[in-house]
Amino acid sequence: MKVTLISIPVQDQEKALQFYTKKLGFLKNKDIPLGGGNRWLTLVSKEWQDGPELLLEPAPNHFEPAKVYQDALMEAGMPWTQFDVEDVDAEYKRLTELGVSFSVKPTEAGTVKYAVFNDTCGNNIQLVEEL
């Protein structure tokens, strides 16, 4: 068994596509119209193009429990998911220069360093570097 797809709920798929590709550096993999303005929209990591796909899921717009959960995580300051990076400080610097807003600056915690940013689409995302 292996993970091939991970969903992130987004309130606006096009806005999310722009943020995740232009600022975070993901690559668009699939973009299939599903009707009603929705798309099967997946991304892959530039560094791991045959790795898991990241689905930009419009669930908060169509399924109230998804919206409630997404809002609760955001209000609590909890990340929806995390992305591993080689150097949290370098990513923090790069992303802040691109206008990305961080709620947690690079912080060491045991064997990791992490930071948390707002993806502008309803989620906090955590960056993690193993020390």
Q: How far apart are CA 6 and CA 24, in angstroms?
A: 16
User: What does pLDDT average to in each consecutive run of 10 residues of the chain (131 residues)?
Assistant: 96 97 98 95 97 96 94 97 98 98 98 98 97 97
- Which residues does 65 contact at the CB level (< 8 Å), separation at least 6? none
Return the pLDDT at 12: 96
Phi first, then psi: give them for residue 72, nearest 5 degrees: -65, -40
Q: Which two tokens stand for residue 17?
A: 């596509």
Superfamily designation of domain 5-130: 2,3-Dihydroxybiphenyl 1,2-Dioxygenase, domain 1 (3.10.180.10)
In our burial notation (b when 16+ CB lie closer than 10 A, e otherwise), range 24-34 reads bebeeeeeeee
Which candidate, 84, 75, 76, 62, places its Cα nearest to that of 9? 62
Distance of CA 94 to the CA centre of its chain: 16
pTM: 0.95
Return the pLDDT at 84: 97
Task: Parse the chain into domains and list their residue ranges.
Answer: 5-130
> CB–CB of 20/35 below 8 Å?
no
